[in-house]
Amino acid sequence: MLKHISPLISPELLKCLAQMGHGDTIVIGDCNYPATSTCNKCVRADGVKATGLVAAILEILPLDVDEPGAPVTLMGSTDHPDMRPEIWDEFEKIVLEKEPKATFDSTDRFGFYEKAKDAFVSVQTSEEKYFGCIILRKGVWFTK
């Protein structure tokens, strides 16, 4: 066990986070997300909610807030494009608590799958809330 690393982050996921570079993305998918078929590298997080994992990841992963484009992408409905999934409020609260400069983008399910194809890693969680899927783009970290 390591100090200050959430037990929600498995050793396999920790290795992936450490290997990611500036601009790489990570997908945190819900229990229905096709993590294996949309990304070459899939890590399972069985028994873990997406919201909890996002909070844990953002304790150690800087977001890419100083580059063009939103560093966070949320998955929305293809059939009901005006629907705002309730989990989005939870994701936004968690992200903004950890990184107040973060901005958000959203896309329908198929647009999300297309973006996910370029992800460094995809994580399959046990999240059961509708559209509990999010993409985070890694930023840079400097000590001063």
Active site residues: 22, 64, 113
Within its chain, how far is the Cα of 116 from the centroid? 10
Beta partners for residue 42, in sequence order = 122
Q: What is the largest CA-CA distance in the chain?
A: 48
Q: Which residues, in sequence order, are CB contacts of 114 under 8 Å at separation 6+?
A: none
Q: Which residues, in sequence order, are CB contacts of 119 under 8 Å at separation 6+?
A: 24, 25, 26, 27, 38, 39, 135
